[in-house]
Chains A and B, each alone.
Chain A
Amino acid sequence: MSHNETRRYVGFLRLLLTSNEAKLGLAIVLVFLATSLLVAAAGKSILPYNPIQQNVGPVLASPSLQHLFGTDNLGRDVFSRIVFATPNALFVSVIVIGSAFMVGIFLGCVAGFWSGILDEILMRSTDIIFAVPALILAMSIAVILGPGLINMMYALMIIWWPPYARLARGEALRVSQRNFVEVAKTSGIKTFTILRRHIIPNILTPLLAYATLDIGTVVVVYAGLSYLGLSVQPPTPDWGAMVSSYQDYLVSAPWLPLFPAAIIAAVVIGFSLLGNGLRDAIESHNIS
């Protein structure tokens, strides 16, 4: 990395971190990522209590120093359970967004660069998927495939790509009308190489900003499906499932459903703030 390039990255980072919202978002996202990776690498051993073991403390204890988020109806430590479930959310969002991103770029570029009949077919199929409410479609697919983390991920992957394809198509359409694409054609570069070298690098930025914003949405939808019991099966903890199984204690032990719900909200807000900040930074970076 040359000095020049380093300067550009530092400049961009400074631009991103001018807003306090983006700073907060970045902080939340970093904590989330660090926790997920740590738990995924070290497993249960780094948690204060075994998240699955019952009666590690009194039943329905309120939050204290021994049990930060209290204990549940079976005497399990809620904090350990929430932390243990963190990698699930990360895993699902990364895989779903990653696949949507790649499928979207591929289909979007094909549609935007060649246009014509292929474009029509692709865009009308995204319309069809858009027409059905996402959650209901994901639920139906998840029910057909059967409950479980992996199956639910498939369901989400099937419904998640259309906005990416549309965004990529619009951008590819815009970029392919730029002069340097015409120049590439006149210098005899193969169409596939033009796509790979000249179109895709120029459409990545808006897609990346959108994807960051979108991770929050995946986390919410994932939590929703998990709440409905379509994801990880008990006793393995999961944020959505915890909200659902603890909601009976909303009056007697309100911290039980509130802590997992608050964590879901925090992660979603974190990614939204970071995504917004990225978008703004990219826009003003492009202007300057």
Chain B
Amino acid sequence: MTENVLTVENLSIDYESNRGPVHALESVSIGIQPRSLTAIVGESGCGKTSLGLGVIGLLPMPPVKNINGKVWYKRVNLLDLDKEEIRRYRGTEIAMIFQEPITSLNPVYRVGQQIEEAIAIRDSRNNHKNTDANGRRSEIVASLNRVRIADAENVANRYPFELSGGMRQRIMIAMALAQKPSLLIADEPTTALDVTTQAQVLKLMRNLMNEVNTSILLITHDLAVASQVADKVAVMYGGEIVEEAEVNELFSAPFHPYTQGLLACIPTGSKAKARLKPIQGNVLDLKQKVNYCKFAPRCPHVMDKCWASKPNLRTIKGEHRAACYLHEKQ
């Protein structure tokens, strides 16, 4: 087994709110292998984005009060670094792209200028000065070509408002990859795009991962998205990882009732006539720390034991782990 690019160990994040602390993440652990695409799936407010921003130290404090645990990036614990030190990891080591490609580009600069800024940061960190305008230009064009933008010369001279959402998200990816990061955190990168564009962008990210030798942490609410591209999927519920497995394993044999519920919500062609089954109940209130299974109030298979204590992640089969007592019943 090769060494992980990123290893998150027991990461807990608490927010301060008017009505007391909110526990956004509780002891989350996850490892990301080089050149792999790990997807984190969960519904709104389950702590996915806090995890992404927490890794690169961009959670605003306040309202964030406590961050505990360890975030190992190539043997450095990012949580030990001060502001200036961690800034040097952003972009060239760990890059991030966001949900809204429409507003993620600065309206006053041309696309090429924004990519150039990313390249300039990488060069300044490598003590490499590329003063040759032609060289810079061709690198900008190359990075646009890499994300399969046709007519890159022309697009580099455009302003963001002249381009479509799918184009802008490709440009965001080009900007992020221009810094040659070892890890790309993609926070709902395709949520704002229509379905056909979404598929193209996902496929592109998957291909680029091997081309530029990077790993991707894909944060999404959509299991279908994860199923298309991920190697490994971790399902989050209420600030905790409730199940993780290699992608085929997860989709063929989902173990946790929550994962099963999510899968039942994906429309499939063969079952088009059948009604989708929603998961009963509401999203969890993260204000209380509970000592029972957080999914118990919504679980169709709830047992007495689920209310008595909290299940930990346990191996089901190989790399497949789930936090559920149903395991013992089998």
Contacts and interface: CB of A to CB of B under 8 A. Distances in A.
B104 interface: yes
Contact of A187 (B91, B105, B109, B158): B91
Contacts of B107: 180, 202
A4 B158 CA distance: 9
Contacts of A2: 157
B199 to A, nearest CB: 23
Interface in B160-174: 172
A198 B175 contact: no
Nearest to B107: A202
A183 interface: yes
Contacts of B104: 179-180, 182-183
Contacts of A186: 56, 58, 90-91, 95-96
B108 A190 contact: no
Contacts of B100: 179
Contacts of A202: 106-108
Interface residues of B, number: 29
Contact of A183 (B98, B109, B121): B98
B88 A180 contact: no
A188 interface: yes
B168 to A, nearest CB: 11
A186 B98 CA distance: 10
Nearest to A286: B107
A197 interface: yes
A103 to B, nearest CB: 23
Interface string A178-199: 1110111111111000000110
Interface of B: 56, 58, 87-92, 95-98, 100, 103-109, 117-118, 121, 157-158, 172, 175-176, 179
A188 B121 contact: yes
Contacts of B89: 188
B interface secondary structure, majority: loop
A interface secondary structure, majority: helix
A235 interface: no
A133 interface: no
Q: Which of B92, B108, B157 has the most CB of A within 10 A?
A: B108
A182 B98 contact: yes
A180 B105 contact: yes
Contacts of B108: 201-202
Given A179-B98, A179-B100, A197-B117, A185 B106 contact: no
A180 B160 CA distance: 11
Nearest to B160: A180
Contacts of B98: 179, 182-183
Contacts of A190: 87
20 contacts: A4-B157, A179-B98, A180-B103, A180-B106, A180-B107, A182-B98, A182-B104, A183-B96, A185-B90, A186-B58, A186-B90, A186-B96, A187-B118, A187-B121, A187-B179, A188-B89, A188-B121, A189-B121, A202-B106, A202-B107
A180 B103 CA distance: 6
